[in-house]
Amino acid sequence: MAYTPDSNRYVAMPYRRCGKSGLKLPALSLGLWHNFGHVDVLENSRKIIHTAFDKGVTHFDLANNYGPPPGSAEENFGKILKQDLAPYRDELIISSKAGYTMWDGPYGDWGSKKYLVSSLDQSLQRMGLEYVDIFYHHRPDPETPLEETMGTLDLIVRQGKALYAGISNYRPEEAAQAISILKKLGTPCLIHQPKYSMFERWVEEGLLDLLEQEGVGCIPFSPLAQGLLTNKYLGGIPADSRVAKETGALQENQITEDKLSQIKRLNALAEQRGQTLAQMALAWLLKDPRITSVLIGASKPEQLLDSLKCLESPDFSSDELNAIEEILK
């Protein structure tokens, strides 16, 4: 049966302006880092994407190496796009990135012009697209001049292969330089994608202030700290978790007694607010007006719908915010 999106898809989702640009993003965006590769069931991936778009999630975030295997998330997204979403391309924001290892040899990693141009060409081919809406440099390259990397983002936008340029995983001082170079080139930096959650807060040490000052958007990834900020670990480490399988980015040594105690206390506070821990963790990020959108993952449609409920949450009282800070100390 042909897919027809929900006609009310834009009613409930708030859209936030991305820095000082003309672009708005949904408060929650869908990241395809996990659960969309060839190792996953395509039909399930399709249902998650349909559910997201039906609920007003217009932004789908990919990278060249998402899978596994690398490249397969883009291939699968391309299939779903072609079969179901092609008529709605102009309602979608599709992003990709390059910066981590993608192929063997000296030209398949980091930040050279050679790598970024080749990688985006491959990404466009895999997704069956003429352009992406946002193309990011995925991480700083200590060996390539920043002028070369940012000059390449500028080139890619001028070629029409991307509408906007972004950076990811850049620390405040690196981000300041990158933003300055792009501004001089005439292709302003649209957005920064850092790792940010209740448990990982380095962006508060200068980065958010910089982005606000420069008019650059911010879209945190790993907002649930790889599942730590969910009800998954309330009873210890479950047998079916990514930690137990040792394939995820979360290591068992990160789950200390102290951490488990914090999770339980945060969960109790979330319950008082009528939320799950995950919903509270997402709402906590969105309380900051400098955050444009929060990237969520989902392994099934129900999980996505559960995360979206964070948008129905009440504002945080100063007492609640103080209690959270006390727990996180």
Could you tell me the CATH number of the domain that includes residue 26? Answer: 3.20.20.100
Question: Tell me: the pLDDT tens digits for 51-109?
Answer: 999 999 999 999 999 999 999 999 999 999 999 999 999 999 999 999 999 999 999 99
Average pLDDT over residues 133-161: 98
Pairing state between β 132-137 and 189-193 = unpaired
Which tokens belong to 237? 């480490």
In a domain, 86, yes or no: yes
The closest of 141, 195, 193 to 164, measured between CA atoms, is 193
Structural domain boundaries, residue 229: 15-233+277-315
> CA-to-CA distance for 56 and 42, rounded, in angstroms?
21
The closest of 156, 9, 31, 36 to 91, measured between CA atoms, is 9
The closest of 124, 111, 234 to 170, measured between CA atoms, is 111
Task: Decide if pLDDT at 31 tops 90.
Answer: yes
Given a contact cutoff of 8 angstroms between Cβ atoms, the answer to whether 33 and 297 are in contact is yes
Question: Could you tell me the pLDDT band of residue 236, with boundaries at 50, 70 and 90?
Answer: confident
In a domain, 217, yes or no: yes
Share of the chain above pLDDT 90, in %: 91
The closest of 1, 5, 183 to 89, measured between CA atoms, is 5
Backbone angles phi, psi at 68, to 5 degrees: -80, 165
**CA-to-CA separations, 329 to 205, 234, 268, 278, in angstroms, rounded:** 16, 19, 17, 19
Question: Could you tell me the pLDDT band of residue 166, with boundaries at 50, 70 and 90?
Answer: very high
Which range has the worst mean pLDDT, 16-20, 237-241, 263-267?
Answer: 237-241
> CA-to-CA distance for 152 and 148, rounded, in angstroms?
6
In a domain, 238, yes or no: no
In a domain, 295, yes or no: yes
Number of structural domains found in the chain: 1
Residue 247: per-residue pLDDT: 53
In a domain, 263, yes or no: no
In a domain, 101, yes or no: yes
In a domain, 323, yes or no: no
More confidently predicted of 235 and 115: 115
